[in-house]
Structure 1
């Protein structure tokens, strides 16, 4: 992604905070796994959205911006050179590289942060402190941003604490053209991985073999990490919505469920396809898949600006109920929860379940998933049909339409094995 994208994001963010404000965003650190082993570093997505600095070399980076009226001074604090550490963990980003990547001109080392923060926090009688307060629940342990905020307010009680998250959610709700370009590129790679799984599929394959095939497609295209951990399952394992074991073996007649996505320039996809491991839908598989397919097509025919986001899920459930009723599985609407276990729409972007303004009606520039999952335990059939929907001025576009969706398309593709 060109640095102009991140520069524009920062300018928009500055326009949304007060006249006297201090913004601090943290890239974060990889948590310790065990002994001296650590999980791979995954940069805070809001930090990535604002700076563009988010690869493995950016662990521990801090972004700070001081705003006084129309004047804004922004600083990126990076790791200092350390020849010994770099022998073990790789070369560190240089100041000139950080400037070129982010468009931030003032690059300082992390050792300077506390001194610079003290000077900024003490410079005005009234100053807003804007940090990223992102937590899933009251009981959740404090993350680095919350810990920093608490420490800063204790040291400088005159600061007025404000949460950046609602502002960033509002900004991330709408994808800019360069984001859509990255998502389209990622989709071509996602498509390749799904087609490769279809072409290789046969009874007796293990789930980890399907995963290896998908992972290989991403790696061939320079994607070293997927948008999220792939969900790939067979048979009864499809009844675990978030299944990550990959140890099951496909039996003749089983459906393969895959919920996968590539990532390009920080932007990801989230696509699900269900297909029979032997390449041919059974009668009952056809009945259920047709319910999901008809529901998905209906949703893409009606999604347009102005719809409440909540109605996307509600409408999908109502329409799918009528489909399931038509094949004799549901008598009344209250029964649909037996077969539809999760919501039918979520935004996608920098995060797979993107953090956005969920109260905002459907509007041009939004990208969200239309996710129709049907789980029929009495028939032993479970799958999802999940596509990525880009909202246009007068309707919507299915970004994943080129990945086989219909029964005929899937069977024809699998016949090429």
Structure 2
């Protein structure tokens, strides 16, 4: 992504901030894995959206006073000994080139600088990224800083900036869509490798190795999310992550995977029999899911409500399942469809957007995710594709990933 893209994102954000306010974003830090090791660092998605910088320990600060915006990025100072052990730190010229922000300071000055701003009398409100998935999650830097403000500056209002960012991230810029397309070429290759290698007796971790090889070979060092690859009865755990199962002859392989490019994610699911040939029951169920997905892509268009995508998918799939005798009424759909039929995708694989109860619009990207789980038949899988809303309808960004029974069997026969 270019500096112009990130600068435009910040300008739209600043336009929605109230005058007499400051906003602070933290890039985040990697959690500790063991005594002296850390997990791979994953940049805060909103910080990345606004700056394009993928380093830990950085802070973005902006003030809006009298209509004028001043912005700074705080970076870690050079430290030869630490950089020998944990890698180089970003240089000021790199940060300027990537973000378009020219005021670069060292993070050791952040505390004094921000307290000077908050004591100036010109700021009445502080915006922070206060996202929490569940109430019992540990407090991140933004939440800890919010507590500092509330304790030390009770006369200031602390406001969550996330609702504004959700609106900004809902519609994708052309460069974001281009990045998703580039990621899809990598995702496709990874899925093809798994299909071609598939055979009875193959372990789930071997499937994962095939997918990871394709990503690494393309320079994608981390997938868009924790890959879900399972066989047989493990398919009935929706977010399975063990990889230790072994495919028995006739087992379905479920994969829910994606590459990322420039921070933009893919999320694609396919299901196939490990032996390369769908049984009668597998074929019937897969056709139900595929027909539902195809129908959804034929009707999705601007103006349709996101809520209706899921409802329509469930009702259409119900009719498909009724035709093959698995259901008699819609009241039973929960037996076979365990999750929603759509979710947004972008900088997060389950993207943080403002779409609930609102009409679909061009340049939205979301997944059409049709999952069928027939425990009584031992068959579970998903057909999940990435949908770009166009001015007149929808484009399947993952259409190049084999999805029909004929195409999948042909790939596996090679």
Mapped partners of 1:402, 1:71: distance in 2: 47
Which residues of structure 2 form unaligned runs of 5+? none
Q: Is the contact between residue 126 and residue 158 of structure 1 (CA under 8 Å) also seen in structure 2?
A: no
Q: Cα deviations across residues 105-133 of structure 1 (Å, max 9, x unaligned)?
A: 00000011011101211222552101001
Pick from 129, 134, 144 the counterpart of residue 147 of structure 1. 144
The normalised TM-score by structure 1 is 0.97
Tell me by how many angstroms 1:20 deviates.
Answer: 1.4
1:239 aligns with 2:236: yes
The equivalent residue for 1:323 is 320
- Give the 5 Å matches for 1:230-309: 230-309=227-306
Map of 2:30 onto structure 1? 30
Q: Is the 8 A contact 2:297 2:394 kept in 1?
A: yes
Matched, 1:68 2:65: yes
Aligned partner (choices 310, 316, 323) of residue 307 of structure 2 = 310
**Residue number among 117, 121, 135 corresponding to 2:114 in the alignment:** 117
Of the candidates 361, 364, 368, which is equivalent to residue 363 of structure 1?
Answer: 361
Q: How many residues align?
A: 413
Deviates more, 1:111-120 or 1:365-374: 111-120
Name 2:393's counterpart in structure 1. Answer: 395
In structure 1, C-alpha distance between the alignment counterparts of 2:295 and 2:42, rounded to whole Å: 37
Give the equivalent residue in structure 1 for 2:412. Answer: 414
Give every structure 1 segment of 4 or more consecutive aligned residues whose post-TM-superposition deviation is greater than 4 Å.
none
Residue correspondence of structure 1 range 87-98 to structure 2 within 5 A: 87-98=84-95
The 5-angstrom pairing of residues 43-58 of structure 1 reads 43-54=43-54, 58=55
Structure 1 counterpart of 2:382: 384
* 1:298 alignment partner, SS class: helix
**Structure 1: distance between partners of 2:3 and 2:265:** 19
| CA–CA separation in structure 2 for the residues paired with 1:143 and 1:35 | 20
C-alpha separation in 2, matches of 1:214 and 1:258? 10
1:136 positional shift:
2.0
Q: CA–CA distance in 2 between the matches of 1:125 and 1:366?
A: 38
CA distance in 1, matches of 2:308, 2:155: 44
- 1:311 Cα deviation after fit: 0.8
Q: Secondary structure at the match of 1:194?
A: helix
**Is the CA contact 2:184–2:397 (under 8 Å) kept in the aligned structure 1?**
yes
State the distance in 2 between where 1:141 and 1:212 align. Answer: 32
Higher alpha-carbon deviation: 154-163 or 266-275: 154-163
State the alpha-carbon separation in 1 of the partners of residues 122 and 107 from structure 2. Answer: 26
Partner of 2:377, secondary structure, is: coil
Q: 1:39-88, CA deviations, whole angstroms, 9 ceiling, x for partnerless residues? A: 1111111111111112xxx2110000011133111000000011110110
TM-score norm. by structure 2 comes to: 0.98
Does the aligned pair in 1 maintain the 2:193–2:210 contact within 8 Å? yes
Instruction: Find the aligned partners of 1:276 and 1:385 in 2 and give their Cα distance.
Output: 14
| Per-residue deviation, residues 340-366 of structure 1 (Å, max 9, x unmatched) | 011110000100000001323211111
Aligned residues: CA RMSD: 1.0
Cα distance in 2 between the residues matched to 1:399 and 1:212: 24
